[in-house]
Chain A
Amino acid sequence: MKIAVLSGKGGTGKTTISTNLAKAMGWNYVDCDVEEPNGFIFLNPKVIKTEQVSIPVPEIDPSKCIGCQKCVNICQFNALAWANKDVLLFDKLCHGCGACSLVCGYGAISEVDREIGHIDVGNDEQITCMRGTLNIGEPMAVPIIRDLKKMIGNEKTIIDCSPGSTCSVVAAIEGVDYAVLVTEPTAFGLHDLKIAIELVRTMNIPFGIIINRGSHEKDLIEEHCEKEKINIIGKVMFDKDVAVLYSKGKLLVEHEKYKELFLHIGKKVEGEIACSLL
């Protein structure tokens, strides 16, 4: 069982919601926001294992290359070029698809591993925490997310996604049972929320909304959700306690009142998943 937590954009409180939900529900936590994974700051697990993530990139042996340029032409990503009678590799653009070595009829291309990031596995008292980290300057997040997803298996897991609706998010939410969309009650929040809703709907994933930094008044997110018959599964108020806990790098569930709230949200989500399976 997997729940993905996403947000229209950064800074909405996605990590706050996902770490607290994981802790309250006792589910494992996986940080797929590989460009800026900061869930471990709050969960603070003991890291027990680190694995490198690499992709296979071509290495060209100039003594075997006859310059047919088949490899250059097959590469969909412009990672290979032909300049001054040499094949030139732009390794940051290479997706590791292997097409070039397949078409080279002269055995001039072999594949070598290039490290793009790593995965940490850690233990909290009750839950397992994982995070992927992309090396600085690396553009390809999806291979790390794929590896993370493989490691999750069938465990009950909360997946913290990257902000926005990028291909990293698509890779992270593929095959999840439920999506939690975190938003803020502002016009920008609503705008980004609509894009996120479209994404999960297109991918046929049942979902619900959590309003972060909410107030006691009815806000524009609630109005929109009412009109569109979208389920709001929780609202985290904007108050001083939240700010203080957050600034100390502490989980909200360490505070009794929020523990209640996240337990309640967790129950609701589990109920929603059960309903969606009927």
Chain B
Amino acid sequence: MKIAITCVKKDKDSMIDERFGRCNYFTIYDTESKSFEHVENKGVTSAQGAGIAAGQQLLDHGVEALITGHVGPNAMKILQSGNVSIYKCSGKNIKEEIDLLLDNKLENINNAVPPHSGMRNRHGRA
């Protein structure tokens, strides 16, 4: 299985980028060959539809799982159509995130978050 992670730098010690469509690089880890590959995100240079371009790129690479922060509705649609499972990163480094995923400890966010769900977190206020 190929796992993609959104990254800031082209390096396997890079920080994770919480953005999907506009991250700089994808690190793609192949669980069979245990190898890493780094690809530039084509979405960054897209004037519009960054999330779609990025999603298309992952499908073209045969990615089946993605670890990232936030996925927009367009990206969600293409990734789901391509049967990619999407997981929420937990703020660790790439290797730890992969281990967490393989241990089934990352939250699956395939169901697109309902709009404005972030507004529910109102720090204890109603």
- Chain A bound to chain B: yes
Selected contact of A78 from candidates B52, B59, B77, B82, CB within 8 Å: B52
Selected contact of B82 from candidates A79, A84, A90, A93, CB within 8 Å: A84
* Chain A residues near B48 (CB-CB < 8 A): 77-78, 93
B104 within 8 Å of A (CB atoms):
no
A83 to B78, CA, bound (A): 6
Return the CB mask of B77-91 against A: 1 if under 8 Å, else 0.
110011100000000
* Chain B residues near A225 (CB-CB < 8 A): none
- Contact present for B49 and A77 (CB under 8 Å): yes
A82 to B82, CA, bound (A): 9
- Contact present for A84 and B52 (CB under 8 Å): no
* Chain B residues near A88 (CB-CB < 8 A): 77-78, 81
- Contact present for A84 and B46 (CB under 8 Å): no
A93 to B74, CA, bound (A): 10
B53 within 8 Å of A (CB atoms):
yes
B56 within 8 Å of A (CB atoms):
yes
Closest CB of chain B to A85's CB: distance in Å? 10
Interface size class on chain A is 10 to 19
* Chain B residues near A104 (CB-CB < 8 A): none
A83 to B56, CA, bound (A): 7
Closest CB of chain B to A162's CB: distance in Å? 18
A88 to B59, CA, bound (A): 13
* A77-B48, A78-B48, A79-B49 given; A84·B55 CB < 8 A: no
Return the CB mask of A72-92 against B: 1 if under 8 Å, else 0.
100001110111101010100
A88 to B51, CA, bound (A): 14
- Contact present for B59 and A82 (CB under 8 Å): yes
- Contact present for A86 and B81 (CB under 8 Å): yes
| Chain B residues with a Cβ under 8 A of chain A | 46-50, 52-53, 55-56, 59, 74, 77-78, 81-83
Given contacts A84-B82, A90-B49, 15 further A-B contacts (CB under 8 A): A72-B56, A77-B47, A77-B49, A78-B50, A78-B52, A78-B53, A81-B52, A81-B55, A81-B56, A81-B78, A82-B56, A83-B81, A83-B82, A84-B81, A90-B74
Question: 9 closest A-B pairs (Cβ-Cβ)?
Answer: A78-B49, A83-B81, A83-B82, A78-B52, A81-B78, A81-B56, A93-B49, A78-B53, A84-B81
